[in-house]
Amino acid sequence: MNQDYIVPDNWSIIEEGFDAERVKSSESLFSIGNGAMGQRANFEESYSGHTFQGSYIAGIYYPDKTKVGWWKNGYPEYFAKVLNAPNWIGIDITINGEALDLNTCEQVNYFRRELNMKEGWYNRSFEAVLQNGTAIAVNVTRFLSLEEDELGVIKYDVTPINRAAKITFSPYVDAGVTNEDTNWEEKFWQPVAVKHSDNAAFVTARTFKTHFDVATYMHNSLQQAGNNVDIAPVDVKVTDDKVQFTYSVDAAQGQATSIVKLGGYTVSLNHTADKLVEAAQNVIDAAQAKGYDALLAEQKEAWAKIWEMADITIDGDVKAQQGIRFNIFQLNQTYLGKDARLNIGPKGFTGEKYGGSTYWDTEAYCIPFYMATKDQQVARNLLTYRYEHLEKAIENAVKLGFTNGAALYPMVTMNGEECHNEWEITFEEIHRNGAIAFAVYNYYRFTGDYSYIPEKGLEVLIGIARFWQQRATFSSHKNKYMILGVTGPNEYENNISNNFYTNYIAKWCIDYTIEQIAKVKEEYNEDYSRIMAKVNLNDAELQQWKKVADNMYFPYSEEHGVYLQQDGFLDKELVPVSELDRSQRPINQKWSWDRILRSPYIKQADVLQGFYFFEDDFNKEQLEKHFDFYEPLTVHESSLSPCVHSIQAATLGRMEQAYMFYLRTSRLDLDDYNKEVEEGLHITSMAGTWMSIVEGFGGMRVKNDTLHFEPRIPEQWQGYSFKINFRNQILKVSINATETKFTLEGDKQLTVFVNGKEVRVEPDALVTV
């Protein structure tokens, strides 16, 4: 943890001073993205210190050959990896013949990074003295256009401070890149063609195996004293995967020279392969026509629109404010919901780790955020993503011995195929199926759009219900159905039996599917006939489902009055985390796996995750009992843990604890709680941060098509506000210690409940409670 690294600011992420040790961490924290592409905050100029180079294109992946010790039946052959994409940002610089490299400069007198979240740009400025004695000031602004998602823009200014200087700018595009996490040190990109003309260059490369074609392009222009300089490259270097131009200018002492580099990708997901260069040229032409200032203005405007809907304000606590905005900003950089083929990777465009793009994180954590802050089509796209993968989920289940259309969605996927390979997770962390069903329910609950279920959702639900029925084992010994051999949300337990969360959501899935079948039969008979013809479901099978759901086993301790996380949990030595020596933590970095497994320590909400999803099935006293039993044993070593605990602590009125968990989730990366931010950001948990404010402090729930609030406020805050897109009307909620204010953008009166009391909110009128 490092609380003094990022300068607190309401709207920006700011780093001051140059520290080579922080370069990789800052590369993560200052990452930018526009939903279609993104990149770590790598320097444009060459840098010989430690760095983790990363540029990423949404939907472009590489199926790396799986690496295992001992192969097990059912393992996937390939592991789809986030692919480090060709570099378009690079600009080598020399000053009076010496390469600019912050790692070898004589002095760095000033260094500042700013990620302006309000306006969507990243700036880096510094003053350095090179070994040849030339002092320069550099100011670089970079952004990825929200308007034109194939376009990135860099404006790189250099000013000699202490003498005149000959400056060379050598911008390049380079497909000769590799992944840090390649399993077999294979290359992922095959060069296809290079092309350049005037100040533009194009490198086309194709991914091996997946055969995605990508044209990486650049266009360069120079300015001095604010005026365009008409200049041609003095040198052009071309290899089969790289083009580099060199421009040379003379700058007087104190005179700024700028290179504006446009760049980015056109990809075969969106264009035919033979038109990629043409498409890129079109992007360049359009951008050139607008010019840098107009592009930046557009960018500010586009981000203003996002904030208009998604912003959460917090008064009186800059760090909390900065945290939530950073989270909302990164979520929007990662996924904008325009394309149902895409999803939300746990590291977004900020690192390689974890591979794949889609985990249960999407359904369990991200959907509420996107439902409430975007058009409902965005959430529907996320659901559709799974519908499109249903066939592959059925194939995946077949590999594991299931039949008759049972579907097991992959633990990690890019294209619907499983690409994770540890048996205890891939084969056993089956609760993911539950979250996918729950999201269907949650979408309808929030949006009121039932149409998704007869159109697509019911087929998904049936595949999932079939899986659970087949996966359950009848224990004649206990005369109950059990689910043996699973890993629950708490991944610090493997191959356990009767994980409460898994059993509970399995039963729920079956019950909910049976209900929806009945409803669709009743209300959407045409869809019903179509689906039944397809899935071949009969009454005998339904009875079998019901038998499993009605007789599901849940381990329970009479002594403690709690559901047990799994069979045998009470046999562990239940020593609370608070009694663990600090030197032993995080246990996942200090302990061998067997030791973690036999310990009582919980990585993230597990029983409590069930209480979060199915809150209405339990009373507050039960929640309190379970929270008090499990939270003290929880090490929160998953980024997904603090948010659920924050919400539940708030629900229980434990505001200090809720606030502590809130800071931990919202500033997880900014304050580097887990000492790993250099690997990339924790994107999916950022949606949990949003929930911890809206559902935790705001106490927002949807019940019977109506919004309910139980507003609470941490004592550190003077007030906070958020907006909710509830069924196509925008409700703004502002809360302080004494009152809650509502304003509504829309055209219909909205009834909400505040602490159980009905409140009518009229369009464009302020209501104070």
| 392: contact with a copy of itself by CB under 8 A | no
- Closest C-alpha to 363, from 454, 431, 306: 431
Contact 315, 719 (CB under 8 A): yes
Rounded least distance, CB 407 to a copy of itself, Å: 16
Rounded least distance, CB 582 to a copy of itself, Å: 16
- Burial category of 227 from C-beta neighbours within 10 Å (exposed 0-12, middle 13-18, buried 19 and up): exposed
Instruction: Considering the complex, state which of residue 307 and residue 423 has its C-beta at the smaller distance from a copy of itself.
Output: 423
Contact 719, 738 (CB under 8 A): no
| 474: contact with a copy of itself by CB under 8 A | yes
Q: Given the rule CB under 8 A, which of 62-70, 80-88, 329-337, 515-523 is the region that contacts a copy of itself?
A: 62-70
The encoded tokens of residue 462 equal: 């049936």
Instruction: Considering the complex, state which of residue 339 and residue 422 has its C-beta at the smaller distance from a copy of itself.
Output: 422
Instruction: Considering the complex, state which of residue 35 and residue 555 has its C-beta at the smaller distance from a copy of itself.
Output: 555
Residue 512's CB is within 10 A of a number of other CB atoms, namely 19
| 490: contact with a copy of itself by CB under 8 A | no
Q: What is the 3-state secondary structure (H, E, C) of 518-576?
A: HHHHHHCHHHHHHHHHHHCCCHHHHHHHHHHHHCECCCEECCCCEECCCCCHHHCCCCC
Q: Given the rule CB under 8 A, which of 589-597, 637-645, 672-680, 717-725 is the region that contacts a copy of itself?
A: 589-597
In the DSSP assignment, the letter for residue 161 is: S
Rounded Cα–Cα distance for residues 527 and 56 (Å): 40
- Burial category of 479 from C-beta neighbours within 10 Å (exposed 0-12, middle 13-18, buried 19 and up): exposed
Contact 177, 189 (CB under 8 A): yes
9 is in an annotated binding site: no
Rounded least distance, CB 428 to a copy of itself, Å: 5
| 239: contact with a copy of itself by CB under 8 A | no
The number of angstroms, rounded, from the C-alpha of 664 to the middle of its chain's C-alpha atoms is 17
- Which of 475, 622, 657, 729 lies at the binding interface for a copy of itself (CB under 8 A)? 475
Rounded Cα–Cα distance for residues 428 and 16 (Å): 46
| 620: contact with a copy of itself by CB under 8 A | no
Query: To the nearest 10°, the Cα dihedral for 538, 543, 546, 547?
Result: -140
| 422: contact with a copy of itself by CB under 8 A | yes
Rounded least distance, CB 586 to a copy of itself, Å: 11
For residues 492-511, which are near a copy of itself according to CB under 8 A? 494-497
Instruction: Considering the complex, state which of residue 66 and residue 622 has its C-beta at the smaller distance from a copy of itself.
Output: 66
For residues 118-157, which are near a copy of itself according to CB under 8 A? none
| 595: contact with a copy of itself by CB under 8 A | yes
Rg of the chain over Cα atoms, rounded to whole angstroms, equals: 27
| 554: contact with a copy of itself by CB under 8 A | no
Residue 550, amino acid: D
The encoded tokens of residue 52 equal: 């983790």
Instruction: Considering the complex, state which of residue 72 and residue 757 has its C-beta at the smaller distance from a copy of itself.
Output: 72
Instruction: Considering the complex, state which of residue 477 and residue 582 has its C-beta at the smaller distance from a copy of itself.
Output: 477
From 114, 491, 631, 695, the catalytic residue = 491
DSSP codes of every residue in 660-699: HHHHHHHTTTTTTTTS-GGG---HHHHHHHHHIIIIIIS-
| 594: contact with a copy of itself by CB under 8 A | yes
Residue 623, amino acid: L
Residue 60's CB is within 10 A of a number of other CB atoms, namely 21
- Which of 478, 534, 675, 760 lies at the binding interface for a copy of itself (CB under 8 A)? 478
| 539: contact with a copy of itself by CB under 8 A | no
| 399: contact with a copy of itself by CB under 8 A | yes
Rounded least distance, CB 416 to a copy of itself, Å: 18
Q: Per-residue string for binding with a copy of itself, 66-95, x by CB under 8 A?
A: xxxxx-xxx---------------------
Instruction: Considering the complex, state which of residue 292 and residue 481 has its C-beta at the smaller distance from a copy of itself.
Output: 481
Q: Given the rule CB under 8 A, which of 241-249, 424-432, 436-444, 538-546 is the region that contacts a copy of itself?
A: 424-432
- Which of 10, 178, 589, 768 lies at the binding interface for a copy of itself (CB under 8 A)? 589
Residue 477, amino acid: H
Instruction: Considering the complex, state which of residue 1 and residue 593 has its C-beta at the smaller distance from a copy of itself.
Output: 593
Instruction: Considering the complex, state which of residue 496 and residue 506 has its C-beta at the smaller distance from a copy of itself.
Output: 496
| 738: contact with a copy of itself by CB under 8 A | no
Rounded Cα–Cα distance for residues 501 and 606 (Å): 6
Instruction: Considering the complex, state which of residue 118 and residue 353 has its C-beta at the smaller distance from a copy of itself.
Output: 353
Instruction: Considering the complex, state which of residue 222 and residue 548 has its C-beta at the smaller distance from a copy of itself.
Output: 548
392 is in an annotated binding site: no
Rounded Cα–Cα distance for residues 523 and 304 (Å): 42
Rounded Cα–Cα distance for residues 279 and 285 (Å): 10
Rounded least distance, CB 671 to a copy of itself, Å: 25
Rounded least distance, CB 400 to a copy of itself, Å: 5
Number of residues in contact with a copy of itself, rule: CB under 8 A?
Answer: 48
| 580: contact with a copy of itself by CB under 8 A | no
Rounded least distance, CB 75 to a copy of itself, Å: 8
- Which of 230, 526, 558, 573 lies at the binding interface for a copy of itself (CB under 8 A)? 573
360 is in an annotated binding site: yes
| 597: contact with a copy of itself by CB under 8 A | yes
- Which of 55, 116, 421, 499 lies at the binding interface for a copy of itself (CB under 8 A)? 421
Residue whose entry in the numeric block shows the structure tokens 């379970």? 626
Q: Which residues contact 101 (CB under 8 A, 6 or more apart)?
A: 45, 46, 47, 48
| 598: contact with a copy of itself by CB under 8 A | yes
Distances (CA, A) of 451 to 386, 443, 444, 527, 722: 16, 11, 9, 10, 28
Q: Given the rule CB under 8 A, which of 319-327, 334-342, 418-426, 532-540 is the region that contacts a copy of itself?
A: 418-426
Rounded least distance, CB 480 to a copy of itself, Å: 9
Q: Is 278 a catalytic residue?
A: no
| 586: contact with a copy of itself by CB under 8 A | no
Rounded Cα–Cα distance for residues 693 and 604 (Å): 19
Contact 576, 633 (CB under 8 A): yes
Rounded Cα–Cα distance for residues 100 and 98 (Å): 6
| 571: contact with a copy of itself by CB under 8 A | yes
Contact 321, 362 (CB under 8 A): no
Rounded least distance, CB 492 to a copy of itself, Å: 11
Backbone torsion region of residue 373, taken as left when φ is above 0, otherwise alpha when ψ lies between -120 and 50, otherwise beta: alpha
- Which of 393, 482, 644, 655 lies at the binding interface for a copy of itself (CB under 8 A)? 482
DSSP codes of every residue in 174-191: E-----TT-SS----EEE
11 is in an annotated binding site: no
For residues 507-536, which are near a copy of itself according to CB under 8 A? none
Q: Per-residue string for binding with a copy of itself, 425-464, x by CB under 8 A?
A: --xx------------------------------------
DSSP codes of every residue in 626-670: HHHHHGGGB---STTHHHHHHHHHHHTT-HHHHHHHHHHHHTTTT
- Closest C-alpha to 332, from 361, 303, 367: 303
Q: Phi, psi at residue 404, to the nearest 5°?
A: 60, 35
Rounded least distance, CB 551 to a copy of itself, Å: 13
Residues that bind a copy of itself (CB under 8 A): 66-70, 72-74, 399-401, 421-424, 427-428, 473-478, 482, 484-485, 494-497, 559, 567-568, 570-574, 588-595, 597-598
Q: Binding site, residues? A: 360-361, 603-604
- Binding positions for substrate are 360-361, 603-604
> Which are the catalytic amino acids?
491
